[in-house]
Amino acid sequence: MEGAVVPLPEPTTRVDETVRSSDDAKGLKTNAVGMLSSVVIGIASTAPAYSLAVTLGLIVVVAGVGLKSPAIMLVSFIPMILIASSYYYLNRADPDCGTTFSWVTRAIGPRTGWVTGWVMVAADIIVMASLAQITGTYFFLLIGAHSLANSLFWVTFVGVAFLVIMCAITAIGIEVSARLQWFLLGFEYLMLVIFAVVALTKVYVSHPAGSIRPSASWFVPNMNLGALAGGVLLALFIYWGWDTAVSVNEETERKSIVPGIAAILSTVALVFIYVLATTAAQAFHGPAYLGANSADVLSPLGNAVLGSGLDKLLIAVVLTSATASTLTTILPGARTTLSMASHRAIPSVWAKVNPRFQTPVWGTLIYGAVSIAWYVGLTLLSQNVLADSIAALGITIAFYYGINGFAVPLFYRHHILDSWKTVFLLGVMPLAGGLMLLWVLAASFDTLWYPANSASGTSWFGVGPPFVLGAAFLLTGVVGMALFWAFSKRARLFFARKMETVDAMVPWDDEAQDQRGAQPATLQAAEMQRPGKAA
């Protein structure tokens, strides 16, 4: 194919029509998100302040971690940047808002793709309950109504109202959501930097009781594999969410390039703030203090670090962090189901896009309703079950992030050996990221198996509730896939698809970028260059 642009084959069957569904067919608003907004969405979706507040204390108490929590943040960054690069190359070939669902369907097969799409949506719905809970609690803490912050009814009421408002904002339009993210993330990121700088300054100047000066050893992961696995499993939740930048790819400028770059930049921005804030929080009062306040490490540190009155700012930061994350969690959830419906993998109601707002309004509303039902149901059942469902998230995250690492070499298998660069970029890097997360997945099953590691310390069927919930999330996906495959005439077209390679998507020629717009059949192909060349 050297030196020639080869047009994509004309669709000859209804299956081909589902394969080539485009953003124009979906009805989403194109070019609505720029590079900076895409990066903001990627960072905001991880909810840095909220994630640190509820997870850092759990990391430091993992046996063998202790003062090594900054090292855990650095080690956890490695699979994240490797998988972010996998997203980059998969998105260049197939900028579909279904992201991993679409890519795994093409590279590995429709059945695995369907289960992966299910896991992605399930993970988003699960975390919505936690975000709603933290929002209800922190809203009352911010206004000083501590008694209401301890009221299950009022916290749930505010949490549900919050989910309704966030779904409405997301349904109105991607641009409204993106503009709001600028304010929310800017405040959050700035306050975390201020907190870290003030805390470290006091450690070196006024030496607060229990403070420890940072040491280079904190950043070296010389710990046993059990401690490393336990810490990384928890840190995976802290990093999770940057892929939202790619989920809005069809609404982003230069959709085959910008979203992937934004994902990589998001992970870099995250490792900086996580290592800085973790080092500062640990240095100020030591790991034992963080472990004793594992439910929320930022609020108790706020008064000591920033002083009376200003500590409210950290409460506000966690509140805005949860708000930003909720907005950016609804986005990928609704767009994954939109893509699945567009590919005929699920009922067509999820494929409906409002012509005025150019967003998947029906999918967003259904997603919001299911999230509210999940949140209220878990709240009524048990607070421990809610906590255990969040603990089980590591299983779903490791699964759907990690599978991208295996999808890249399969999708590009005819071109991995083109050069040393392609061997590294399309083979070594994604496989390393996939294998790392496969190890985390296995370690998470091993850790969550034991009842002592659950929020309540009780067992379900003789094992830990988080293990049961995590396994259930995966198995229900397999059952759902089997039912659709067996009984849905619409879905049979989807399941009839075969494994693909990148050759079915784009021509491998050096001059494709020069042909943009020249041949409509190669418009998607023109977005792609050989990996290893400058974008």
pLDDT at 257: 94
Residue 178 pLDDT exceeds 80: no
Q: Which of 63-77, 320-334, 485-499 has the lowest mean pLDDT?
A: 320-334
Would you state the pLDDT for residue 326? 82
The Cβ-side half-sphere exposure at 81, using a 13 Å CA radius, reads 13
Nearest CA among 313, 276, 341, 322 for reference residue 493: 341
Report the distance separating Cα 283 and Cα 210, nearest Å.
8
Rounded to an integer, the average pLDDT of 87-101 is 93
Coil, helix or strand at residue 397: helix
When pLDDT is cut at 50, 70 and 90, the band that residue 216 belongs to is very high
- Of 350, 367, 345, 244, whose CA–CA distance to 27 is shortest? 350
pLDDT at residue 272, as a whole number: 95
Judge whether residue 4 has pLDDT over 60. no
pLDDT of residue 138: 85
Q: How far is CA 367 from CA 44, 127, 160, 469, in A?
A: 20, 13, 13, 20
What pLDDT, on the 0 to 100 scale, is given for residue 242? 93
**pLDDT confidence of residue 226:** 80
pLDDT grade for 117, boundaries at 50, 70 and 90: very high
For residue 145, what pLDDT band results from cuts at 50, 70 and 90? confident
Q: What is the pLDDT of residues 523-533, one digit of tens each?
A: 333 333 444 43
Distance, in Å, from the CA atom of 292 to the CA atom of 304, rounded to the nearest integer, reads 16
Query: How far is C-alpha 167 from the geometric centre of its chain's CA atoms?
Result: 18
What whole-number distance in Å separates Cα of residue 439 and Cα of residue 495?
29
Rounded CA-CA distance 491/337 in Å is: 14
With cut-offs at 50, 70 and 90, classify the pLDDT of residue 271. Answer: very high
For residue 389, is pLDDT > 70? yes
Which tokens belong to 77? 């960054």
pLDDT band for position 457 (cuts 50, 70, 90): confident
Q: Per mean pLDDT, which range of 44-48, 103-107, 257-261, 421-425 is the poorest? A: 44-48
Q: Give burial (CB, 10 Å; 0-12/13-18/19+) of 243.
A: buried
pLDDT at residue number 491: 85
> Is the pLDDT assigned to residue 498 strictly greater than 60?
yes
Count of C-beta atoms within a 10 Å radius of residue 257:
20
Predicted pLDDT at 309? 67
Which residue reads 């009922």 in tokens?
A: 347
> What's the confidence (pLDDT) of residue 532?
42
Tokens of 294: 């594992």
Q: What is the pLDDT of residue 175?
A: 67
Confidence of residue 479 (pLDDT cuts 50, 70, 90): very high
Q: Which of 293-302, 373-382, 429-438, 519-528 has the highest mean pLDDT?
A: 429-438
Model confidence at 412: pLDDT above 50: yes
Residue 464 has pLDDT above 90, yes or no: no
Beta pairing partners, 460:
463
Q: Which tokens in the block code for residue 453?
A: 């590691």
pLDDT at 3 over 60: no
Amino acid residing at 189: Y
Residue 505's pLDDT is 67
Task: Return the pLDDT at 112.
Answer: 95
Task: Write phi, then psi, for 464 (nearest 5 degrees).
Answer: -70, 140
14-391+489-502: CATH topology is Amino acid/polyamine transporter I (1.20.1740)
pLDDT greater than 90 at residue 478: yes
Q: What percent of the chain has pLDDT over 70?
A: 87
CA distance 278 to 14: 53
Residue 57: pLDDT over 50: yes
More confident site: 104 or 449: 104
Give me the residue spans of the domains in the chain. Answer: 14-391+489-502
- Distance, in Å, from the CA atom of 44 to the CA atom of 39, rounded to the nearest integer, reads 8
* Amino acid 197: pLDDT: 94
State the average pLDDT for the chain.
83
* Model pLDDT, residue 410: 95
Q: Is 254 left (phi over 0), alpha (psi -120 to 50) or beta?
A: left
Mean pLDDT in residue range 407-420:
93
pLDDT digits over 61-84, tens only? 888 888 999 999 999 999 999 999
* φ/ψ (deg, to 5) at 33: -125, 130
Q: Which residue has the higher pLDDT, 91 or 312?
A: 91
Q: What per-residue confidence (pLDDT) applies to 454?
A: 76
What string of H, E and C letters represents the secondary structure of 416-465? HHHCHHHHHHHHHHHHHHHHHHHHHHHHHHHHHCCHHHCCCCCCECCECH
Q: How far apart are the first and last CA of the chain?
A: 20
The closest alpha carbon to 284, from 21, 56, 507, 40, belongs to 56
Tokens 């259930």 appear where?
472
Type of residue at 512: A
pLDDT for residue 527: 39
Give the mean model confidence (pLDDT) for residues 300-324: 79
Q: What angle do CA 381, 460, 480 make, to 5 degrees?
A: 75
- 114 or 7, higher pLDDT: 114
Residue 246 has pLDDT above 90, yes or no: yes
If pLDDT is split at 50, 70 and 90, which confidence band does 487 have? confident
- pLDDT exceeds 60 at position 18: no
